[in-house]
Structure 1
């Protein structure tokens, strides 16, 4: 029970931080970052939260039930817009792949150069 209280307190801290600091991230992400920082700092021991985390992971499907019900409820609308949804998914994925490839190629070229502009010899 202590582990669940710790996990929920970090989520609540994320909610408060998001509300008062106007951070443009979900409260769960902020709470998770705070939780990881406290784990690495040693403020929270893994043993304290391990059982509760395993329980939540084991029953994770319950947390996705509202999304599944919503998808089933709006199946007709999703079906009538399937072409647009599919096209945007494919185009978005290809765009992300292309931009990631260009940035990686650019950074790889930069890494091979010295500050004075000469290529490094490996």
Structure 2
């Protein structure tokens, strides 16, 4: 019964995500599964539901994630004749976008770390001044 309740929560947020995706489809195309994960994250973060309510099923799903990629892999193999004509363009796009994303994330992380480091140093200086 516990696993059925955990599946219920995961499927509920997936359904909510699909509903929101349909509602906003005229404005922006975001997959319902992504919206559902964001909604589940927010519910967990704000303690609307407890981690123990989805822990076992969520762990099982992430442990067996490779199974979920089989249909996509089969789809690529069945449409290989279409991809064979544009493989070089796809490869270039992948390399360029991954490089840009790595640069972007690295820059953001460095800025956040430097701001946190400045705050940490400032806090240490204030503490040593007040103790003297």
Which TM-score applies when normalising by structure 2?
Answer: 0.64
Q: What is the match of residue 58 of structure 1?
A: 63
Question: Which structure 1 segments of 5+ residues have no match?
Answer: 112-122
C-alpha RMSD of matched pairs (Å): 2.8
1:1-122 superposed matches below 5 A: 1-22=4-25, 24=28, 25-94=30-99, 96=100, 100=104
Distance 1:21 1:12 in 2: 14
In structure 1, C-alpha distance between the alignment counterparts of 2:61 and 2:13, rounded to whole Å? 15
Q: Per the alignment, in what secondary structure is the counterpart of residue 54 of structure 2?
A: helix
Counterpart-to-counterpart distance in 2, 1:20 and 1:27? 10
Structure 1 residues 83 and 37 mapped into 2: Cα distance closer, same or farther (>3 Å)? closer
In the alignment, the residues of structure 2 paired with residue 41 and residue 8 of structure 1 have an alpha-carbon distance, to the nearest angstrom, of: 19
